[in-house]
Amino acid sequence: MTSPADRRPSLPVFCTIVPPHLLERLARAENPAIAETARRTLVADAAHRTARRLAPPAPAPTPAAPDETAKPRRTVYDAEHGTDLPGVPVREEGAEATGDATVNRAYAGLGATFDLFLKAYGRNSMDGAGMKLLATVHYDRNYANAFWNGEQMVFGDGDDEIFLDFTVPVDVIGHELTHGFTQYTADLEYYSQSGALNESVSDVFGSLVKQYTLGQNAADADWLIGEGLLHESVQGVALRSMKAPGTAYDDDVLGKDPQPAHMDDYVRTSSDNGGVHINSGIPNHAFYIAATELGGNAWERAGQIWYDVMTGGTLTPETRFTEFARATAKAAKARYGDGAEVQAVLKAWTAVGVPTD
């Protein structure tokens, strides 16, 4: 088995917070402004996705030993509504806040994600070796997405019709940066069940970044991904709900949240890389159940188990739900012994219809 330290990403990645199936629906909206923004966002995303496929994979660095004194190395750039990346540097590490709230939110979100991984798990940045955290804001005009392109974060300002500024929810920032963590650890292939696990891991740690930042325990957290991103006119609260997949939105324009919470409702589709943003609801819900069953701070025991699985070297890029579930049970036992942690994990996967034996 290849260890995470020796593994290099099999393919450059391009991961967005808003899935293409949702943008495709918006592209058919009666409102021409909404439809045009969605179409332009889809075209831009497709171009980035192609560019990443053509780029060579970067070698994986060797993770450094845990160092709680490590500091983030952040740079926020301004694309000035253009599409050239990274743009103009506007805030470097340690610099004072600017007069641009979007810049400051991006800077703070990068730091919040760094802090969770360092202080909760002893990991120095997304690659474990202190990689720089780069973010570009004000990308394009009315760009309705945020993405990780294998090297940096990019945020659109939204269209102010459906989506607001993508730096508003800190869990969106945590979600996208976690794709970098996955890129340098388990390297889960971005297709079908392994792709849904890739998305779910980003939702898990994105939610944990938010909970850690707000000082919320598992019972207090809302378990929403992207709360605060949707315009007030939209009938919905977020992009996804880990607590209740399929309930995040139900809107005439946006449609209804399609996420399942159980394998009985697993969606087989050729779109969205085999439904990676849809079927992630199943492992998302499993984590929610495990975390709330254990109680306390979700980033501690439940988060630690998921982190151990991602960094343990036992997963393959093609890992499926059942294999991941078994790995979490083994990781829980390895760290905590036969106790509440193992039982919580087993209960969680049983509840969503994923076997662990």
**Residues noted as catalytic:** 176, 277
Range 182-185, long-range pairs (CB < 8 A, 24+ positions): 182/310, 183/9, 183/13, 183/126, 183/150, 184/4, 184/7, 184/9, 184/60, 184/61, 184/126, 184/127, 184/128, 185/4, 185/7, 185/310, 185/311
Q: How many CA atoms lie within 13 A of 9 on its CB side?
A: 24
Range 84-91, long-range pairs (CB < 8 A, 24+ positions): 85/136, 85/139, 85/149, 85/152, 85/154, 86/134, 86/136, 86/152, 87/136, 87/138, 87/139
Return d(Cα 180, Cα 63) in angstroms, integer: 13
Return d(Cα 290, Cα 123) in angstroms, integer: 23
Give CA 59 to chain center in angstroms: 22
Provide CB contacts within 8 A for 274, sequence distance 6+: 191, 192, 193, 195, 196
Return d(Cα 57, Cα 37) in angstroms, integer: 31
* Buried/exposed 330-350: b ≥16 CB within 10 Å, e otherwise: bbbeeebeeeebbebbbebbe
329 neighbors 345 (Cβ within 8 angstroms): yes
Between 321-336 and 301-311, two packed helices, what is the crossing angle to 10 degrees? Answer: 120
Per-residue tokens: 357: 């034996």
What angle is formed at CA 63 by the lines to CA 89 and CA 93, rounded to 5 degrees?
20
How do strand 74-78 and strand 133-137 relate by DSSP bridges?
Answer: parallel
Return d(Cα 339, Cα 134) in angstroms, integer: 41
